[in-house]
Structure 1
Amino acid sequence: MFYHNKSIFHPVTFFLIGIPGLEDIHMWISLPFCSVYLVALLGNAIILLVIKVEQTLQEPMFYFLAILSTIDLALSTTSVPRMLGIFWFDAHEVNYGACVTQMFLIHAFTGMEAEVLLAMAFDRYVAIWVLHSLPTILTSQVLVGISMCIVIRPVLLTLPMIYLIYRLPFCQAHVNSPFPTVEHMGIAKLSCGNIRIHGIYGLFVVSFFVLNLVLTGISYVYILRAVLRLPSHDARLKALSTCGSHVGVICVFYIPSVFSFLTHRFGHQIPGYIHILVANLYLIIPPSLNPIIYGVRTKQIRERVLYVFTKK
């Protein structure tokens, strides 16, 4: 049975088969996924708690860090529980509407993550190069405006995907698919209709994604220039270590996501399990690393965490 809407046939359910070729070791694969997810939940929850409790952490950096932790909690929770349900409870079936909703949330939160990483890079650039003007540049109104851009632009870019997906016909009532099929092109490729417009729109969306990456990279180039001018050798090493870890997290986020996007279009010879494992990296690894890199390694956060959990 199909859902019918003006000659457009939608499947009743998607049957998510997990990681094709590795079904026999799903239980073992679930252990690192679950561990990383728990780290993401605990780490981001602690960051949010500390920032909320400690009134001294009112700088723009901590404001953006709170937004990042919120997005990380949402992004990982949108994807990992479904994955663990497949691995642990054989919960393979998901109805069409839920699948499209999950697609929207994953793409929207991924876009928000890219936006907030850019905002944090800009904040560090302003703090280093125009330190004395920081309060006048990043005012409350500016922070609210940046926050609205972080949320609104990814949502506006993702909404047309829902319309495009609902316009696609499917030739089966129950569609078998690997996880995550909830990527836009992952769902589109399962249809029996023409998906050229989906590819074009996907390129349009990814251009904004790449633009964020370029602007983030430019910000860190200027930050690096400032770091190399520090008079103290130890200060340079410490700053380079911090910037290097930040850039590492950004690469972990961007490289798998761009790889997944390109693989859907050009990587037909890449084994499916490699594509799926790499695609899952940007959904679960950055949310677990961000609290460590941006939180524990930040002196103020580290001191506040120790204070909150050790004070009587």
Structure 2
Amino acid sequence: MSSQNETATRIFCRATVVIIGLVAFIPIYAANLLDSQELIQLLGIGQQELKNLDQGKTVFFNVAEDDKKELAAGVAIYLPIAPSRIIQFIHKKGLSSLDPDVTAHGIIPLQATLETFKGFGFKAGDDEAEDFSQEAPERRFNLSTQEFHTLKATGSTRSDEASQAYRKILLERWQNYRKNGLKGIASYDRDNGPKANPSAELRLATLDSKILARYFPELYQAWLNYPAALPAGAEELYFWINRKVEGRPTAILGHRVMLSAGAGEVILSRQFYVGHSYNANQLSIACLPYRDGSLVFYTNRNFTDQVAGFGSDLKHSIGREQMQGEIIKQLTNLRKALK
């Protein structure tokens, strides 16, 4: 594998670890209670790995990849911090505060307008504006066929007009997802190649959430079939992020669902639109009371064209290892922030 592809894969994987949304599984259904020891067994964490957890080390657990474009990784860590403090941090700041590559972020209100996305834009004199408005065959942006046609009809390369056009796309993408859920996510045009389908990829990631389906069936069904009604007590939040990927601004639209559950909370997060470099992402963190603190289980599923095709096995191996490293960094930063 060339150094260029290896570098690209590393960057794509790093971009997936956007930490604005998390999942903390705390059991509340009387018929299907889950505790830390049970989850350890379900995830196949052995005695040696458990000893490492007790010593404050991170351990990895297997997360099956069911698609040639999927990268999946699982990391567990013990934090001598009560789950309530972790949850409070998530509610108050969000974990985007720990990511230096996030240049701007915000909440998308239910009455969103173009002004909602003013934090995202192309800088004057930036080649991004011209590339965006006069898209080349390489397809450097994730846009649908209709979105490409609209941009070509506009034809302007001015940064302010390009920014406004992109904000309109972001608004429409959010509106379609809010109205139709996964079915409302338009595919990405890949010129003469097959289109990328983030809708199908996120559906696959949700179907693979076996623990969620077993212990939180109502939330699982609502997440899978959104905008189906959420369980009582669940809260949802839409967000946008502007994040540097390959030195380029990357527009990301996300959806997070939170459900209070005893001493902890369930938070599900998916990136249903990503501006470039990868297709979609879904992540989860399980935070359970354990000894004098919490066991945190972080699972990340990312979908990117970059790991498919020739050399796929090697690309997956490299990408998975680098993804694990990025997750460890985020968990380490979380521990530092909560000291």
Question: TM above 0.5, one fold?
Answer: no
TM-score band by shorter chain is: under 0.3
- TM-score computed with the length of structure 2 as normaliser: 0.23
- TM-score, normalisation: structure 1: 0.25
**Higher helix content, 1 or 2:** 1
Higher strand share: 2
Larger radius of gyration: 1
